[in-house]
Amino acid sequence: MNETLIFGGSFDPIHNGHVAMLHAAIDQIKPSRTLLIPVGNAWQKSRMPFAPSRHRVAMLKLALPNVTVDDREVSRGGATYSVDTMRELKRDFPKEQFVWLLGSDAFSALDTWEEPAQLAQMVKFAVVRRAGESIALPITPQQHEIVDCDPPGVSSTQIRLRLKGAAAERESAKELVPAAVYEYIQHHQLYL
């Protein structure tokens, strides 16, 4: 049976930490297909993404040109729940097995997600663990796999703050995102 690796997030913007996590998971799991799924309206976040979805989708395609960007959540409208996305994917690809990639912080908070037990029945979780980190299991998923990776310590929030700063600070964001993404951000004057 084919495995599809799913990596969802706001990706606002995608950064080198996201890329490192995804490459580590692909190297370990060796999925037949990988889907990047940018969120539309993330119910857990108190704000909408800062960049419109068309820009976030474009940046994903630039950062990872060999990976499929699935825009079903940004096209759906309204609150975006991972469990609903998985139901759609299971309906669209009934013979696929799905592996959901997430960081240990998101995995530890899985019990706060919409219908976490149902989601856990539909996927195997691939949890990225930083060096020396332990992982708490918030629920008992049927299956999970640990992906050891020590991605750069960077966050999209940190990048957005740098891009709003003085010229030298904006320039320092260049090292945190793929080069094509930085050029796109500059060209479209995002996060200023």
Q: What confidence category does residue 59 fall into, taking pLDDT thresholds of 50, 70 and 90?
A: very high
Q: Summarize pLDDT for 140-151 with one digit per residue, the tens.
A: 555 778 888 888
The count of structural domains within the chain is 1
User: Long-range contacts made by residues 81-85, C-beta under 8 angstroms, separation at least 24?
Assistant: 81/43, 81/113, 81/114, 81/115, 82/8, 82/113, 82/114, 82/119, 83/113, 83/114, 83/115, 83/116, 83/118, 83/119, 83/122, 84/114, 85/8, 85/37
120 inside domain: yes
pLDDT (0 to 100) of residue 181: 98
Dist CA 27 CA 105 (whole Å): 21
Q: What confidence category does residue 77 fall into, taking pLDDT thresholds of 50, 70 and 90?
A: confident
> Can you give the CATH number for the domain in which 38 is found?
3.40.50.620
pLDDT (0 to 100) of residue 43: 53
Cα angle 181-31-177, degrees, rounded to a multiple of 5: 15
Backbone angles phi, psi at 99, to 5 degrees: -120, 125
72 inside domain: yes
Backbone angles phi, psi at 46, to 5 degrees: -80, 0
103: nearest Cα among 155, 56, 64, 52: 155
Q: Summarize pLDDT for 84-128 with one digit per residue, the tens.
A: 999 999 999 999 999 999 988 788 888 889 999 899 999 999 998
Q: Summarize pLDDT for 11-56 with one digit per residue, the tens.
A: 999 999 999 999 999 999 999 999 999 998 655 555 556 899 999 9
pLDDT (0 to 100) of residue 139: 56
51 inside domain: yes
167 inside domain: no
180 inside domain: no
Domain membership of residue 53 as a residue range: 3-152
123 inside domain: yes
127 inside domain: yes
17 inside domain: yes
